[in-house]
A and B are shown apart, each in its own frame.
Chain A
């Protein structure tokens, strides 16, 4: 079972997160202060960690820094009450892998933890394949089965990202950050528009859809079974 260590001092938030993670089949270990959390991180060797930025005993970022010094590479998602403009940058620089500002939707948190746990391996492959869908990274071409798909560069980038993380829920915020490097959520639902274009090209009128919209959460690319 996948073990997740949660270091969070607010009981209610912690309970919510722990319950949700348990529902999704994670083995959750909870610690309410920095020092205890650091000790648990060393002893239990969790698969992923969720660390609050401000903690009693030891600051969340210090916990991560100490772990990284000990060569512990466990992926860490940093939580913060108020994302001061450069807090995020500091969080990531200190060794955090992802950053989430409160208040957040639980779906967002779960999606990000799963993304951290299933980080795509560094491959030398030049072709990505998901079911019938094939992406040539050198030629910058795509096809579904025998049908060639014409993609604009930005559409190619989006599809590449989705194929590297197939079967994972990708939230709008994640896509904005990873594909477009946007650190904010724009007023217009840009992601949906871009996704609509790509979906239109990938899922032809007679095809079984591969790109699925998860209501209120995001998108998943799945191979047709």
Chain B
């Protein structure tokens, strides 16, 4: 009986009550209208009759009156002629009612029938008219018919309304039970999801109904969460894997050093190698923390005007010796001075990462170009190189943590560089576009009105 407390049921019951009240008022209105109409009609009738009888010559009047009463099979007609003393001369009216003044209009009066034994005189619409010699003609019509009508109407109302009301209540109960069942079902599934079964989904039918739509929305959210959680789990595995490699090496180095080293120098050499391995592991952790830091950062307080051309030249200056060592031509091409709003240190870090990557993956005697251009309210920072570039299939993957292209597995690196660039670009509300190869081409598009950024 829990449904009785449910909101749906309350609404259904309230609606049923409202409906019942409305129907009752409607029936009442119809009743009064019909009542009015019937009384007006009988008033018209008796007025015509009284005029007719009054106009007849006295000798024919009595027989006409008796004929009139004789034809009334339903016994609703009243008629009579009284003398000046109030004695009945003819007709079925027991006495002349005191409050029925001759010459007045049609009135409602209590009027007993001469042959009637019932103690209660019925309510009758009647009219009196004075005749010659002080005689009074009375014509009346019983309007109890209307009361009968009200009984019929009331009966019909009770007969129709009661089942309807019950039906409403039942429908309300059914709806609330159904809603409750669905809530129960959702609850059950959500409990399973909470318990860790991420593949569970809410039930939903392919119909345009609020509950189903809600379920579809929640399911969409769950899909997204599942993907993210799997991705995170994957990242966890990647981290573990990437950390295990240097740590295993450290362990081996230390073990070998401990067993084989015979001099202080050999011990120190082993220790140095171990420290280098630990530094590598630490750099992975540091890179991850830094990534998390940038991804979680929402601040723009440190944002200022950054002159990109100067920044590019600075990065170029920094990387020139390395490029030279690999005989790679590193160049900067800018037109005029271009400013963007941002955090100079972070943008420098992003560009340095792109250049670092470009130089790393470009073979000897190639070239790496840094360019700035304007177009459509956007400033575009482009890094192009003559390396293998990024294939179409790899474009998504390179933004994954720890992804390192198969082709360049041998190149050292943590594999978080592009993630970092992506996070920094996102923080600024800029866009990172990676074009497919051959030849690397990565762009940071900085709209004048950054969208979604901090």
Contacts and interface: CB of A to CB of B under 8 A. Distances in A.
B345 A183 contact: yes
Contacts of A85: 293-294, 297, 299, 302, 343, 346
Contacts of B343: 85
A131 interface: no
Contact of B353 (A183, A186, A196, A215): A186
A103 B282 CA distance: 8
By size class, the interface of chain A is: 20 to 34
A138 interface: no
A27 B314 CA distance: 42
Nearest to B360: A188
Given A185-B283, A186-B352, A186-B356, A86 B299 contact: yes
Nearest to A190: B318
B293 A184 contact: no
A188 B322 contact: yes
Contacts of A84: 293, 297
A187 B349 contact: no
Contacts of A119: none
B275 A187 contact: no
A187 B413 contact: yes
A42 interface: no
Nearest to B299: A86
Interface in B300-357: 301-302, 314, 317-319, 321-322, 325, 343, 345-346, 348-349, 352-353, 356
B272 interface: yes
Interface of B: 272, 275-276, 279, 282-283, 285-286, 289-290, 293-294, 297, 299, 301-302, 314, 317-319, 321-322, 325, 343, 345-346, 348-349, 352-353, 356, 359-360, 413-414, 417
Those 5 A-B pairs whose CB atoms lie nearest each other, nearest first? A183-B345, A193-B321, A184-B349, A85-B297, A187-B356
Given A86-B297, A184-B349, A193-B322, 18 more contacts: A82-B293, A85-B293, A85-B297, A86-B299, A154-B318, A184-B290, A184-B345, A184-B352, A186-B352, A186-B353, A187-B356, A187-B414, A188-B322, A188-B359, A190-B318, A193-B321, A193-B325, A216-B276
